[in-house]
Amino acid sequence: IYQCDWSSDVCSSDLMEVTRAARDSTLHSLVRLLERAQSERPRLGLAAERMASWFVLRVLLLTTAVGVLWYFIEPARAFPAVLAVLVATCPCALSLATPVAIAAATSRLAMRGILVLRADAVEGLATIDRVMFDKTGTLTVGTPLILSCETRTDFDRTRALAVAAALEASSNHPLATAFRAHGQPDVRCTDAREHPGLGIEGTVDSHRYRIGQRSFALQNSIAALDSASETTGGDLVLSDERGIVANFRLTDDLRTEARETLEALKALALTPMLASGDRHDAVAHVARELHIDAAAGRLSPVEKLAWLKETQAAGHRVLMIGDGINDGPVLAAADVSMAMGRGSPIAHAAGDLLLLRDSLAALPEAVQIARHALVVVRQNLRWAAAYNFAAIPLAALGLMPPWIAAIGMSLSSSFVVLNARRIASSTGVV
């Protein structure tokens, strides 16, 4: 990059390193997700369109019958009657009933820092009765700190932390941030491989290491089974070919808004659930702090998905909120899902909604907005149907001239649009 001061004829240059292509940027990913959402149609909208198509076919048949009857009764009134029927029954209000309400709700959610990534997300959010949370990075701030590091006798603490940092360097999991400060330039991992929900394995200085859940780390070697009693348990275990190298115990503070958010969700008749891959005592502590009755720890992605399916099989509709790679399957399978803005690209791709702000405070209001939008959609559909069924007999009998039918059709469409604007002006707790 060259910068020149033309008044003094002095130029300077700086180096800039490009690490990723523009198509791999966060902004470009968001644009792709929004384009996908805009290309989809919500279920309610598709149902309204099918209803409108069905309605138009029958209106054309009715109009033909009205024209024929009036031709034989009083030919001079045949054309005005046919025209009045066509104008009065124009399905504009019926076709606008759903999209204007969904568009207003989407705009309202965007103002609250929540992007709608799939067309059915608003409808799904309005009908949930369970909210399943991941723990790390969702209910907690996602910036864990290392409380303790207990190492094997032949491995010093600094070396263990450096190896762990090398393994975690390529991971986007919130737990990886706890090790970033302990990395050393000469300690690098050449082939790190992440196992979602379990941990990471890779080679550091010609030695094969694993870091993650205890059961995952113990698979690194037969010797590790014999060394299981050498150190006490921790949140993460680091092992090599000889056995367990270190146990790390971490802490991650709850989000300041978490307790208030969950109380607000309970006030909306929503039951919170906590599904985490962290150790049982850490999950139990968070559940106690936030008064969550349904909580489970040490869950693999498959076990999280099984719990979700079991909940859905019991007749519940579930909103899943997560941020990690291991949350991808359960986010995709939930009735509606929300990915944290700082989450992994896999979570973003699987989510129906994207929480841009690093806070859960907008979640209860988002549910209220979605419920209000669903009420408005139903009001619009009922109004559009009532108007058309009332106008058809009047127009067919010749009691409604075409100009009045045109005014009625315009007023009906205007009512639908104005009713939808209420979503943008108030939350509408329902």
* CA separation for the pair 265, 290 (Å, rounded): 12
Contact, 398 vs 81, CB < 8 A?
yes
Active-site entry in 134, 252, 323, 352: 134
CB proximity list for 182: less than 8 A, separation 6 or greater: 146, 158, 161, 162, 164, 165
| Contact yes or no for 339/323 (Cβ under 8 A) | yes
Six-digit token string for 416: 């639908």
DSSP 373-392: HHHHHHHHHHHHHHHHHHHH
For 372, the 3-state DSSP assignment is helix
Q: What's the DSSP call for residue 42? A: -
- 73, amino acid identity: I
Helices 280-290 and 258-267 pack at an angle, to 10 degrees, of 60
Three-state SS at 44: helix
Please state, in angstroms and as integers, the Cα–Cα distance from residue 127 to each residue in 82, 121, 269, 270, 372, following that order. 42, 10, 11, 10, 11
Q: Residue 318: phi, psi to the nearest 5?
A: -115, 135
Calculate the dihedral angle through the C-alpha atoms of 157, 163, 167, 172, rounding to the nearest 10 degrees.
40
d(CA 327, CA 305): 9
Separation between Cα atoms, residue 398 and residue 61, nearest integer Å: 17
154 is catalytic: no
Catalytic residue positions?
134
